[in-house]
Amino acid sequence: MESEKYLAQLQEIQSMMQKSSKFLSLSGVSGILAGTYALIGGGIVYAMRDNFEFPVQFNSFEFLSVTIIAVLVMVLSFITGVIFSIRKAKKKQELVWNQISKLFVMSFMVPLITGGLFAIILVSKREFALVPPVTLLFYGISLVNASRYSFETLRNLGFIFIILGLANSLFVEYGLYFWTFGFGVCHIIYGAFMYLKYDKKQ
Amino acid sequence: MTSIISDINKTFDHRIRLGIMSILMVNDTVDFNRLKELLDVTDGNLASHIKALEQSEYIDIKKQFIGKKPNTTYEATLLGKQTFAKHLAALEQLIKTSK
């Protein structure tokens, strides 16, 4: 009888510690959807490749279409992530924008925005081939950095992106494949894993 | 056995106080509204439990201004952290021995 009370106390402590220090409203579904957008985007670019003129010129048709597709994939993924997090938080009757989600977003955004600016600078210097590895690398660092305030497994996904980014910088001519594999396939696999592990139960 | 029992702290023998301490063990500083949100309690209820913990010197209250808005944050004192860690270890020990 007494030990049951103690066990309940321990469980309460554990759940409070986790709930108060981790942003757990990330949804596996948004990972799957973000991966799908990246796959579609990568597929479109792949299909268009035959008509592209190489080397790609700044502000050419090739340049603009790839940029628009990449930005679209990013914006859609971001919006999807936010919408599904709000939904999940509401389901759990928690606030989305609290101390921990702020810390999570901050620790995620600092490397990500740094990488984004770096990618823009690379483009301005016409170093197009380095853009996919740089985005993979910085996104991976963002994940590792932010995993402290969220699911610990997010760190593993981050490491995969870092490895992909490094590998891609060795073989820059395969940027499209590395980028699509990372942002597309890895997101879908990880999102599905998260969905099955955490979301489906609730 | 007696030493284990003596580490079980009566101050933490309440869901809200236990919750406040758990939260402050893993967060450097937390404000009133965040505690309220996490513990799902009324203002008055939360305030009374905070007061109890402050009187035992387990938590510190920091009052400051963010712009013109007053902001009160709470953090666990060293004594609070040590006492809570002992309480936690005692709980684990008691569950182990009862099995």
* pLDDT higher than 90, residue A170: yes
Q: What is the CATH number of domain B2-98?
A: 1.10.10.10
Q: Cα–chain-centroid distance for residue A160?
A: 12
Number of other CB atoms surrounding residue A91 within 10 Å: 12
ipTM: 0.85
In chain A, the number of structural domains is 1
Q: What is the mean pLDDT of each run of 10 residues along chain B (99 residues)?
A: 72 91 94 90 95 95 87 94 93 83
Instruction: Determine the structural domain holding residue A171 and report its residue range.
Output: 27-199
CB contact under 8 A, B26 and A21: yes
Probe site for chain B from A3, A6, A9 (most B CB atoms < 10 A)? A9
Q: pTM here?
A: 0.85
Q: Which of A9, A10, A20 sits opposite B27 (nearest CB)?
A: A20
DSSP B57: T
Per the structure block, which two tokens stand in for A59? 């502000």
Q: Among A108, A152, A113, which residue's Cα sits nearest to residue A134?
A: A113
- The answer to whether residue A13 is domain-embedded is no
A35 band by pLDDT with thresholds 50, 70 and 90: very high
Q: ∠ at Cα A120 (A118, A126), nearest 5°?
A: 105
Mean of per-residue pLDDT scores for chain A: 93
Could you tell me if residue A101 is inside a domain?
Answer: yes
Within A49-98, residue ranges assigned H as helices are 61-91
How deeply is A182 buried, as exposed, middle or buried, from its count of CB atoms within 10 A (0-12, 13-18, 19+)? buried
